[in-house]
């Protein structure tokens, strides 16, 4: 039976608790589990229930993106998305090799939700709805941390079309280095909370625990020629802009994973996040000014316009556009 849901991870580890748990769950639930390796991946990598692609196997896929994407980069995860599309996935779940899925992770997901929706509120720290702690998602502009969050009871409850759904993570959630250097961990979030971000509202989302439905697959694209700590955050700004012109909301849900974070140098993380601290607001302002067209068939053109703008702003190198073109070409052949 064809797997309707695929899980995509990139890793250079031989095995982790998260990878083994994901593989076991994939077998039990008939999910297609894809792991994309890189330089440094063990040559003998094998976990039952997992399809592993080292660099050689990636080149053998025939994907143009696999030939052009830099090695030693998280953006090679894009290859996994394309392979999931090629296998016929209707939903792609992306996570990382240090996230332990909970039982809820394997539950049925619905694209359309009757949910509280935030419209036309500007920058909103979505974590405020999930915890009383002073905490914010990686990529949230520091200059907006003191902004007031619309009270939950003031939000409208309605049916929302949410083909992009960000699940949070408990214990060691996705936070920036400023928080990690100054504030306590672990942290946990409230259960059974769902909030949709609609048009005119901004909040970043990451690649640690996010579900994508087929119509939004093209928006999965992770840029390679930018800071590693910004690749999924800047992707989220582009995806949010294009999602909203199509009438889609971004859904944020209570945690379905616990993160056992891999070792990081926090000062290096801080350095890599500086482009975001300085430019995240500017990026959203500039791409919001672009004249984009609604429609799933226009997503590729809109992606290119957004990344052309980021190149013009000197935030992403010009080589990104050639890589994006490879993604768009491969998407056409794998998503049919």
Query: With left for phi above 0 and alpha for psi between -120 and 50, is residue 269 left, alpha or beta?
Result: alpha
| Residue pLDDT, tens place only, 133-156 | 999 999 999 999 999 999 999 999
| β-bridge pairing 209-213 and 91-95 | antiparallel
For residue 14, pLDDT beyond 90: no
**Please, which pLDDT band fits residue 175 given cuts at 50, 70 and 90?**
very high
Q: Which residue stretches of 145-206 are H helix?
A: 177-182
| Residue pLDDT, tens place only, 260-290 | 877 779 999 999 999 999 999 999 999 999 9
| β-bridge pairing 194-197 and 209-213 | unpaired
pLDDT for 260? 84
Cα angle at 316 between 315 and 320, to 5 degrees? 165
pLDDT for 42? 87
- Mean pLDDT value of segment 164-189: 95
pLDDT for 1? 36
Q: How far apart are the first and last CA of the chain?
A: 18
| Cis, bond preceding 328 (omega within 30 deg of 0) | no
pTM: 0.96
328 contacts 309 by C-beta, under 8 angstroms: no
DSSP for 118-139, written as a single string: E-S-EE--GGGGT-SSS---TT
Instruction: Indicate if the alpha-carbon torsion angle 286, 309, 335, 9 is positive or negative.
Output: negative
CA distance 128 to 244: 22
- Mean pLDDT value of segment 50-62: 96
Tokens of 276: 């975001």
pLDDT for 195? 98
pLDDT for 13? 83
94 contacts 175 by C-beta, under 8 angstroms: no
Of residues 78, 36, 92, 65, the one with CA closest to residue 216: 92
For residue 336, pLDDT beyond 80: no
pLDDT for 3? 61
State phi, psi for 42 to the nearest 5 degrees: -65, 135
- What percent of the chain is modeled with pLDDT above 90? 92
Give the start-to-end residue ranges of the domains of the chain: 5-334
Instruction: Indicate if the alpha-carbon torsion angle 275, 250, 211, 333 is positive or negative.
Output: negative
For residue 332, pLDDT beyond 70: yes
CA distance 8 to 250: 20
114 contacts 89 by C-beta, under 8 angstroms: no
58 contacts 79 by C-beta, under 8 angstroms: yes
- Architecture per CATH, domain 5-334, reads as Alpha-Beta Complex (3.90)
CA distance 216 to 243: 8
For residue 28, pLDDT beyond 80: yes
- Mean pLDDT value of segment 219-224: 98
For residue 313, pLDDT beyond 80: yes
Tokens of 122: 């500007």
Burial label for 6, CB within 10 Å (0-12, 13-18, 19+), is buried
Q: Where are the beta strands (DSSP E) in the chain?
A: 5-10, 32-36, 51-53, 91-95, 99-101, 112-118, 122-123, 156-161, 164-170, 194-197, 201-202, 209-213, 250-259
Tokens of 16: 């982790």
């Amino acid at each position: 039976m064809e797997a309707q849901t695929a899980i995509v991870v990139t890793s250079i580890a031989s095995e982790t608790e998260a990878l083994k748990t994901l593989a076991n769950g994939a077998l039990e639930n008939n999910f297609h589990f894809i792991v994309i390796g890189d330089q440094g991946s063990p040559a003998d990598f094998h976990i039952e229930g997992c399809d592993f692609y080292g660099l050689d196997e990636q080149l053998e896929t025939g994907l143009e993106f696999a030939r052009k994407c830099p090695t030693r980069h998280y953006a090679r995860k894009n290859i996994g998305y394309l392979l999931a599309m090629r296998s016929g996935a209707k939903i792609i779940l992306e996570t990382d090799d240090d996230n332990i899925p909970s039982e809820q992770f394997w539950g049925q997901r619905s694209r359309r939700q009757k949910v509280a929706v935030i419209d036309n509120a500007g920058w909103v720290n979505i974590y405020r709805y999930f915890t009383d702690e002073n905490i914010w998602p990686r990529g949230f502009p520091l200059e907006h941390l003191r902004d007031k969050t619309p009270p939950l009871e003031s939000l409208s409850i309605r049916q929302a079309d949410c083909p992009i759904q960000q699940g949070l993570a408990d214990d060691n959630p996705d936070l920036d280095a400023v928080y990690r250097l100054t504030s306590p961990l672990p942290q946990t979030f409230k259960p059974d909370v769902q909030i949709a971000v609609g048009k005119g509202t901004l909040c970043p989302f990451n690649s640690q625990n996010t579900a994508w439905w087929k119509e939004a697959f093209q928006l999965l694209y992770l840029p390679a020629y930018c800071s590693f700590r910004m690749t999924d955050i800047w992707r989220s700004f582009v995806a949010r802009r294009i999602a909203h012109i199509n009438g889609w909301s971004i859904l944020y849900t209570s945690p379905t994973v616990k993160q056992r974070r891999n070792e990081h140098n926090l000062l290096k993380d801080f350095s890599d996040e500086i482009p975001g601290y300085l430019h995240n607001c500017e990026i959203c302002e500039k791409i919001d000014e672009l004249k984009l067209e609604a429609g799933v068939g226009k997503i590729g053109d809109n992606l290119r316009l957004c990344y052309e703008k980021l190149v013009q702003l000197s935030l992403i190198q010009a080589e990104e556009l050639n890589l994006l073109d490879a993604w768009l070409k491969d998407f056409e052949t794998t998503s049919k």
